[in-house]
Structure 1
Amino acid sequence: MDWDARARAALCAARGMAHLHAAHGLVHGDVKSPNLLLRHDGDPDNAAALSDYSLQHLFAPLPPSARAGGYHAPELVDPRRPTFSSDVYSLGVLFLEMLTGKCPASGTVGVDGGGAALDLPRWVQSVVREEWTAEVFDQELVRLGGGAEEEMVALLQVAMACAATVPDARPEATEVLKRVEEIGGGRHGRATTEEEGSWGTPTGASP
Structure 2
Amino acid sequence: MIYRIGQFLCRIVLSGVFFAKIQGKEHIPSDGPVIICSNHKSNWDPPFLGSYIKRPLRFMAKEELFEKKFIGGLLRRLGAFPVKRGTGDRQSLKTGINHLKNGEMMLLFPEGNRSKDDQLGEGLAGAGFFALRTEAVVVPAYVKGWYKPFKGVQLTYGKPIPMDDLRESKASSREATERIMEHIRQLRDDIE
Task: Please report the TM-score for the alignment, with normalisation by the length of structure 2.
Answer: 0.30
User: Which structure shows the higher helix fraction?
Assistant: 1
| Greater relative CO (CA pairs within 8 A, separation 6+) | 2
Report the structure, 1 or 2, having the larger strand content. Answer: 2
TM-score (norm 1): 0.29
